[in-house]
Structure 1
Amino acid sequence: MGDTRLEPVVLSDVERLTLENWAKRRSTAQGLAVRARIVLACANGWNNTVVAARLDVGRDTVRRWRTRFLRDRLDGLTDEPRPGVPRTITDAQVEEVVVRTLEETPPAGTHWSKRELAKVVGISPASVLRIWHAFGLQPWRTETFKISPDPFLIDKIRDVVGLYLAPPANAVVFAVDEKPQIQALQRTAPVLPMIPGVPERRSFDYVRHGTVDLFAALNTATGKVITKLSAQHRAVDFRDFLDEIDRQTEPGLAVHVICDNLSAHKAPVVHKWLLAHPRFRLHFTPTYSSWINQVERWFAELERRCLARGVFCSLDDLKTALEEWIKVWNDQAKPFTWTKTADQILDRICRYCDRISEPVH
């Protein structure tokens, strides 16, 4: 075969696709991922020394897997059979672990622990954990979900996503919502600053100095926000916020406002205001679908970077902190990038409904 350190590695389309998939693997397949990356690097025409330096592995390692790939192609990258202790866990035991995890619960319990299940099946807790990992089972985890019952779900998703991906000409699109009851919390003891090896520490108890509501309208094209602080979030407060949006929006532009189904957004006082301002049009998200409103992503940033670790000795301190943070945001604003089409969102909802509608559920 000659000197494999210099022999070029040429990949077919199937081999390249397979190696790229292997290269993305983690955890138990990490060894195979490294081998795939080595071969992909060799296919770029690099010699063993360059590949070793770029991937932070030894040159002997590069030489070994280049040689095995050139000799056996993809089969050469998998582990060869090794001598060892005979397998002690049977297929029946593996099946029992999986079936019990999916279809049963322990007596007086809500989910299996590895020790409880190991005792029932007759294997070690470590073996149960390996089986769970192999089948992607995580009985200790739980998540919440809510599928919108909105009869106009499809139409509303297409409407809102269409505004994100293809906004109308001569128009501005605002994602609008309220963040109610923002609390001015003062810790009962001074915050202890971070030091090497110790994170910042705060007392768990606090004194509350009142609350404030925040109206926000996110310009989906620029990322800038128009905001208004209010003591409440009634229909008249929402109407006043629409006035603020109207004042700060260039005349002559149509204004599309994306908002949720809060009763204040549909009150008669709001309808009357909209009739007097025909350039405004409200677009409602599906019920229980706040995730589709981009301003919620902005509220998450506000919570993480301003409120969650803030200490406010008065309501005025809270308002000042909010106004300063919003000003900084607008000075360096960037829009959030929406990538999913309406069809992709609806397809994913359909796939999830199919999964949870199977007989096991």
Structure 2
Amino acid sequence: MNHKYIVTLTDEEREMLQELIAKGRTQGYRIKHAQILLKLDEIPENREWTYDKIREAYHATPHTICQIAKRFVTDGVEAALGRKEQVNRHKKVDGRVEAHIIAIACSEAPEGRERWTLQLIADELVRLGVVESISDTAVMDTLKKNELKPWQKKEWCIPKPGAEFVARMEDVLDVYQQPYDPLRPVVCLDETNRQLVEKQRIPAKPGSVEREDYEYRRCGVVDLFVAFEPLACKRVVKLTHTRTAVDFAHFLHELVDVHYSHCEKIVLVMDNLNIHSIASLYKAFEPAQARRIIQRLEIHYTPIHASWLNMAEIEIGILSRQCLSQALSSFETMQRQVNAWAMYRNSVCSTVRWRFSSDDARCKLRKLYLIIL
């Protein structure tokens, strides 16, 4: 260890340090530094306290001990008791640079790039002459500090505000507030589709995780019609090979004559997909049959770009995460998996508890209402 700086305390300094330790009314590191100074002062006269023993006794690194001795010799006892002020001489992100980083991150990405990256922002700062050089780490710290992530984006249904949007939204929200009536059930309807794929996989075993080949073979597409009755904790899922107006009509026929045959009317909530029309029934059935089915339905359409108002969308999201995220290679396999999922959800009475009302919408979505006032 470097013994270049020799600590020699005066009687007054030694007494002051001992009093500081005895009172203990200061920061812990100052007491520790005082104890180290006293031991360093004893080294020339008492070889029992070596640098190694000081390090072990006070859990201090050799560098810390040397720095305490250096600050005592060069700046005095108070400097040795304190800590060296940390000065980042290489700091380049001041308020001006930070403002430029935020402005760049919130602007359009350059031609040929989808979004800003850390290195692109750093290069742009240099090109604009804001700094001579800057690391992408410094850019990242600034973005993190201001909670900016220009490389991320979220897909969202952006509403088209207006009287039509507000009217349909409040209509659906009022439907959701109706008390449960087994003769007039509120049923939400929607559909999705999934690709059938065949993958080679090796099951997990002790000491090895499950492995799946990155190559796969397409085996077709399956469409799923989902009807969800939240107040009765009931869902019906039908798989088809296509998603046409005729498929939709047959699903409505199944709901009316099989699953809800005892009901006077089905209060149906669904979106504005082109096949979601009563005209689809006339494409699949004779006029008298189509009219009979229509008279059993009370249809409420969600606004355009407002899929969040359809509780069947929530149920489809759960179905996707819990059942459809696995690789399924045949229509029959998916049918068994989906039926088992729906049977379990129905048996445990899983549902969605909707709490958003028209009054809430007028408060939290008041910007949509201001447009029509």
TM-score scaled to structure 2, two decimals? Answer: 0.62
Establish whether residue 91 from structure 1 lines up as the match of residue 95 from structure 2: yes
* CA distances 1:172-222 after superposition (whole Å, capped 9, x unpaired): 111112224x333221x2x12345786533222223333332222101113
* CA distances 1:66-97 after superposition (whole Å, capped 9, x unpaired): xxxxxxxxxxxxxxxx9532684432222222
Say whether the 8 Å CA contact 1:177–1:260 is kept in structure 2.
yes
Q: Secondary structure at the match of 1:311?
A: coil
Structure 1 gaps of 5+ residues are: 1-81, 355-361
Give 1:161 shift. 2.0
Match of 2:269 in 1: 258
Say whether the 8 Å CA contact 1:167–1:173 is kept in structure 2.
no
Give 1:346 shift. 6.2
Match of 2:319 in 1: 302
**Residue in structure 2 matching 1:115, options 91, 115, 119:** 119
1:329-344 matches, cutoff 5 A: 329-344=345-360
Whichever residue aligns with residue 176 of structure 2, its letter is Y
Considering only CA atoms, is the larger Rg found in Structure 1 or Structure 2? 2
Whichever residue aligns with residue 205 of structure 1, its letter is E
Q: Secondary structure at the match of 1:148?
A: coil
Cα distance in 2 for residues equivalent to 1:203 and 1:345? 48
**Residue in structure 2 matching 1:233, options 237, 243, 250:** 243
Establish whether residue 186 from structure 1 lines up as the match of residue 203 from structure 2: no
Say whether the 8 Å CA contact 2:230–2:351 is kept in structure 1.
yes
Match of 1:283 in 2: 300
Say whether the 8 Å CA contact 1:306–1:322 is kept in structure 2.
yes
Structure 2 gaps of 5+ residues are: 1-83
Q: Secondary structure at the match of 2:226?
A: strand
Give 1:104 shift. 6.0
Cα distance in 2 for residues equivalent to 1:98 and 1:257? 47
Say whether the 8 Å CA contact 1:235–1:267 is kept in structure 2.
no
Match of 1:214 in 2: 224
Give 1:342 shift. 3.7
C-alpha distance 297-213 of structure 1, shift in aligned 2 (>3 A) = same
Mean CA deviation greater in 335-344 or 291-300: 335-344
Give runs of ≥4 in structure 1 deviating > 6 Å.
none
Q: What's the % identity of the aligned pairs?
A: 25
Say whether the 8 Å CA contact 1:175–1:257 is kept in structure 2.
yes
C-alpha distance 333-274 of structure 1, shift in aligned 2 (>3 A) = farther
Cα distance in 2 for residues equivalent to 1:95 and 1:263? 48
Whichever residue aligns with residue 160 of structure 1, its letter is V
* CA distances 1:271-316 after superposition (whole Å, capped 9, x unpaired): 766742434201111122222211122222222222221333x332
Give 1:263 shift. 2.0
**Residue in structure 2 matching 1:161, options 173, 186, 190:** 173
C-alpha distance 127-150 of structure 1, shift in aligned 2 (>3 A) = closer
Give 1:225 shift. 0.9
C-alpha distance 144-346 of structure 1, shift in aligned 2 (>3 A) = farther
**Residue in structure 2 matching 1:125, options 136, 140, 154:** 136
Mean CA deviation greater in 125-134 or 247-256: 247-256
Whichever residue aligns with residue 353 of structure 2, its letter is T
Cα distance in 1 for residues equivalent to 2:290 and 2:365? 33
Count residues with an aligned counterpart: 269
C-alpha distance 197-294 of structure 1, shift in aligned 2 (>3 A) = farther
Say whether the 8 Å CA contact 2:166–2:368 is kept in structure 1.
no
Whichever residue aligns with residue 290 of structure 1, its letter is S
Say whether the 8 Å CA contact 1:212–1:231 is kept in structure 2.
yes
The CA RMSD measured in Å over matched residues stands at 3.3
Cα distance in 2 for residues equivalent to 1:94 and 1:340? 40
Q: Secondary structure at the match of 2:192?
A: strand
